[in-house]
Structures are given as C-alpha cells and as structure tokens.
Structure 1
C-alpha cells in the first residue's frame, strides 16, 4: 500500500519553521509520511553538498519529530532553486506545504517568490502556513463557478478530518448573495451548495453565511477565527492556473493557513 506523502520546504526562516511544524501535525493527522526539502546553490561544480542547507534540514527534521514523533520524517538538501525542486517533489505528494516569507515585513507586501510560484504552479494541493494556530472553523468561499462543488467538498473533507465546523461564505459587493439561490429554495430552507455535502459528512456542523462586500475582504475577515481557509485555483489558458483576486488576497492577508485545493 502506497502511503500518503506530504512535502514541506525548509530554509531556516521563522515562516519555514512554522510550516514544518504544521506539516508534521498534518502528517500525523492524515497518517502520512513527511519529506523535508531544502535547496542550496552549488558554487563549486565539484561540491557534493552544503553544510548550511544540511543544518537547515537537520533542524527541520528535529522540529517535525518533536511535533509528531511517530511520523516517518526524512529530509534532504538538494542543489538548485527552491521552487522547481519543490514543484518536482510535489508531483508525487498529496500535499505541498510552504511558509510565509512575509513575516516581519510590511502588511500587504506580496508573498515570497517561492511561495507564489509553488501556489500557482504545483500539481498537488498547496498549503501556505500563515497566521496563528486556532481551533475555529474551516472556512471556504462559495460562488457559482465551475469548480465550486469540488472546493466545497474538499472543505467538508478537511473539516471532518479536523473534527471542526465548516463556515461557507458567499459574498457579493452589491447584495447579500441570497438572490442567487432563488425564492423557491430559500422558502424551503434548501441550500444547493451545501446540502449534498452535509449528507456525506453528517458529523460536520456547516453554516452558510451571506455577506455584503468584496469576497476577498470578507474571507480575510472570517479567517481571523479560522484554523484553515480553502480556496480553489482559477484556470487560465492551456493548463495554466491563476489564483485570482480572492486567492491572492488570502495569501497576502489571511490570519490562518491557506489551502489551495487541486
């Protein structure tokens, strides 16, 4: 039986340490193995390793084993650029985890280049670890896009895994979003977005909030009390992916880890 694998990038920063610890807890939760990867630039063609990167990996593995001593944790330092190495490693992973390099910088600055590339191009689902640990709900944005059902289903799965509640949020700049459901559905107390998943995950308490305002700003506000927010990528062109305004806004300002579900 092939075991699930989680890959986490390490570079010795505070954001990286938070990502490693979160990934270790996630591996324990999922019964997965954890692989820690660090990149270094080889300046000498005859060089076979890098002491600095090896130390980063060692420290990261120690951190992971402290959080989850029963998880199979292995680490490796490889020559090359971090983003391509992580993207390659993610091809055989169920989840790729990276830290937020904005820690200590000014609010609103872009996500670090590695995190941005990974979040945009990885074939696996990606988590960018931000904010502080919380015991709140799993939050997901709900719209009428073609991937909405898949993203809502993933959010229910994550909530069930964590034994958490789910908060689905529909935000519209000019209204509260209820009009899209139709009078008949509203009158009958039906929710075509959540009801199919409620029946599959009866243990998950699920609430659907309709809020006026820009979706990215509303979701950032809801993340203040969340333990995870789930967002889907926007398809663009030939096998291209864009995060869109909502995903980009969450990666810059969310106060909890952000899962980009593939």
Structure 2
C-alpha cells in the first residue's frame, strides 16, 4: 500500500464511496496525502465542516485534443480560485446530462422497463448521471448481473444503442483555465488514455506534470513518463483512480507499488509552495 493517493473518485461523480467514507479510509490507512478528483466537479469539497489533514483539493477535467482527435483527462491541484474551471466544467456536465437522458430514452424505447427518475435517484448526489448509474439500475431490474459485463458492452460499446459521442472543451482551454485559477495541470494516466506518444505535444500546450504513477501504469510506462518529466522539469503524481464498486481500479491507497513516494511528496511541496508565492 502507498501513503499517497492523489486520484480518488466519490459519489459526486462516478465513484461509489461517499466523501466521508473516503476520508475515514484515508485516515484508517494513515495516508500522508490524498485527493478526491471527481470528474468535472469540486462538489466533494463544498460541504466539509473541517479540512482533514493531508487532503489536497483536486479535480479531473474532461478535455479533447482537436489536433489528434483524442479525449484526455487533465488533473488539477492547488487552485486558489475555481471560477474558470467551473465555467468550463459546467458546459460538460450539462452536455453529459443530455446524453444520459438520451441513453435512458433509448433503453426505454428498446423495451427496458426503467425510468429517468429512478436513474437520477441512483446517481444522487452525483453532479451528473454516468453509465455506471444506468447499469446499476439495470442490475436492480435483473437486466444485468455486473456493471462491466456483457450487457454493458452490448449497450455502450461496439455501436450499441446507448453509444453517443461526448463533447469536451479543448485541452488548451482546460490548461488555461487551470492556470487562471492558479492551479497546476497534470496529464492523467497517459498510457491508459493512449496519448503516451503525445506527451511532448501536451508539454507544449502547457501541462505542468504527468500522472507517472497512476495505478494502471506498468514499469515500462512509468519509466517512459518519468524520463519526460525529468527532461522537462515536470511535476509527477500518482493515484489509485479508485471508483469503489463502480470501477475495476484498486482500492484507496493502492496507487502503484512502484511509486517513488519521496518524489511525489517533493512535487506536492513544490506546487504548494508555488501557490503560496503566487
């Protein structure tokens, strides 16, 4: 187990653990640093009565690289403001809600006895409806036995009836918004997103770092990302990307067994000091 996990999802996006449960688990496992990085929302941080020790504000922002036709995720940490990021993410969340409604409509028209209202209830308190929430309702009705099983692949993959192209803000606009809010922009899981060969491109666009130690990164992928980070003086972070029962990723605290925690902590100190000096 690692002592640093800078990529955890909560019930405010597509994770199954509440913020309270994440904090308790982080404290139980004595994590030194951790961050809830929900998709396109800061909602996890809005109702904290006290700020737990070791918790860093973060977010995972959906973006699109027009030049290469790739969807990517950009992690952001250490913001002093949120207004520019929230404006971009607001459009994304509205678009996702429209797509989710369309997907449920498709299911109903194809004989699935479900309603939009129950899908919305299942998604609460998430700021949007995700495929995992729809699949959980299908499981509740006996149409499926697991979230990522055969039914999921028939519906949401391979030209299934629920497939729909998503629209995300340009990656350069996302990076600019993060910097306007005085945060640092980190390219998330480059190999998982199939953009590893484009790291130099994202560096030119202004990313401040790489998620070198994402849980999915192999030793070879880590070495590849680490070389780019060293050569370009980039920050490096890592995390489990835990989604609870809504994902196949490791549990909280299992970022990557190969993580160099001293290096990650040094990066955390760098961007915390950077915020203090802005």
Q: Which TM-score band (shorter chain)?
A: under 0.3
Higher relative contact order (CA 8 A, sep 6+): 2
The structure whose residues are more often strand, as a share, is 1
